[in-house]
Structure 1
């Protein structure tokens, strides 16, 4: 049973989503909020698995609400918006899907089925959607070698290419950790499956050597944890 929370400042929009969700026996509606303030108060007790989040709300919009929550939220997100241009940003902040208002029953049903499928197999479907010129680049978690802090952004290094993402390293650290990633330095996260070796430099410090040949400095504070993780069966 998936616990769903609806956050939208329009009562009719909340009612429509609730009505459509009520037809699904695998969904339990745990709350409806008309503002970001209400949502922040309701989230701890509601403990939703899935949140339908309106983009445009007065005082605090959907993206700003996620910034207030901080890090990677412990629930899946479907953004609800009347404007197509918000779709890219929705995927950039980790949304599983988005609904374009006004939507009909068929469109809602398709989105809900896609979301449930992705939530059933998160390890296979986790990915970032990144704008690259006029195209949208899909970068799967499994394809990422390492992640680098770049001022207020991060750079994903995957399949020999680099992709700039408008997310903080701390944010990505929380999101990627359950999928086999770990920080090795205050400005770097690595995919543990991509590590080929740990080498000791002449000064006694360790370097992480990736399968690509890339060498990354490892801070002493992470050395023991990384070694323990690599030695696990």
Structure 2
């Protein structure tokens, strides 16, 4: 794991570095630190393969939310470590993996890391938007506007109910960690918004597909199609 910690208080930075090394041990491949957003962005551009960002939201008096939308659109996951708990829901809605309130202990920080290393889900907090970079600006896409997300190499394609797909820097499995349960992995290459579907039909070559009101379809794995059919039968009177 390639880790970047952004924190301007030296004592807290030292504690985060020490606890990260204690919890993650040999999982850490590289660990970089920054004390402000400018330094953090320079490191992100230099080390473009960062896996996880730990971010304070108040850096030398600057509001970290100014940059959080951009950071949430990147390929890595973001864990916020902040005393501004009143903004936790806002951070989750932008797609952070976890919000660790200050002061924190090793157990709470370890739980946050487990969401990365073991894909431990949050009980109730999920993204409300997906942030994508497009034409030099950040676009926030409401989950209600999304039909499905498709794997596209090291990135993902977000298909909205209308318009062309948008490219997201996060891989499909990474997005799945921050999306709510109604975004289901229906195929190795697709996450479907099950609240947006029309139904399931047999497509070409007897391949089961999900249909959407837009007329678009996506393939289903055999195992998901079987389980989904059983769910439909259970709902029948």
Q: TM-score, normalised by structure 1?
A: 0.58
Q: How does 1:39-50 map to 2 (within 5 A)?
A: 39-42=20-23
**Structure 2 counterpart of 1:183:** 185
CA deviation vs aligned residue, 1:72-124 (integer Å, no higher than 9, x gap): xxxx96566679896554222464879xxxxxxxxx87x5422256659745x
**Structure 2 counterpart of 1:165:** 168
CA contact (8 A) 2:5 2:55 kept: no
1:34 and 2:17 are equivalent in the alignment: yes
Aligned residues: 182
Pairwise CA distance, 1:213: 1.1
**Structure 2 counterpart of 1:13:** 9
Cα separation, 2, equivalents of 1:148 and 1:88: 21
Greater relative CO, 1 or 2 (CA 8 Å, sep 6+):
2
CA deviation vs aligned residue, 1:23-72 (integer Å, no higher than 9, x gap): xxxxxxxx93236xx4153379xxxxxxxx954899xx8982518xxxxx
**Structure 2 counterpart of 1:66:** 52
User: Which of 198, 201, 218 is 1:216 aligned to?
Assistant: 218
Pairwise CA distance, 1:231: 5.9
1:91 and 2:91 are equivalent in the alignment: no
Q: TM-score, normalised by structure 2?
A: 0.57
For the structure 1 residues 63 and 90, does the alpha-carbon distance in structure 2 shift closer, same or farther, using more than 3 Å as the test?
farther
For the structure 1 residues 140 and 122, does the alpha-carbon distance in structure 2 shift closer, same or farther, using more than 3 Å as the test?
farther
User: Which of 145, 152, 165 is 1:143 aligned to?
Assistant: 145
Question: RMSD across aligned C-alpha pairs, in angstroms?
Answer: 4.3
CA contact (8 A) 1:9 1:57 kept: no
Which stretch of the first structure deviates more once superposed, 166-175 or 187-196? 166-175
Pairwise CA distance, 1:171: 1.3
Query: Could you list the runs of 5+ residues in structure 1 that have no partner in the other structure?
Result: 1-6, 19-30, 45-52, 68-75, 99-107
CA deviation vs aligned residue, 1:160-205 (integer Å, no higher than 9, x gap): 13211111112122332x3311122211111001110111236332
Cα separation, 2, equivalents of 1:190 and 1:226: 12
For the structure 1 residues 171 and 32, does the alpha-carbon distance in structure 2 shift closer, same or farther, using more than 3 Å as the test?
same
CA contact (8 A) 1:79 1:95 kept: no
Cα separation, 2, equivalents of 1:232 and 1:65: 41
**Structure 1 counterpart of 2:86:** 113
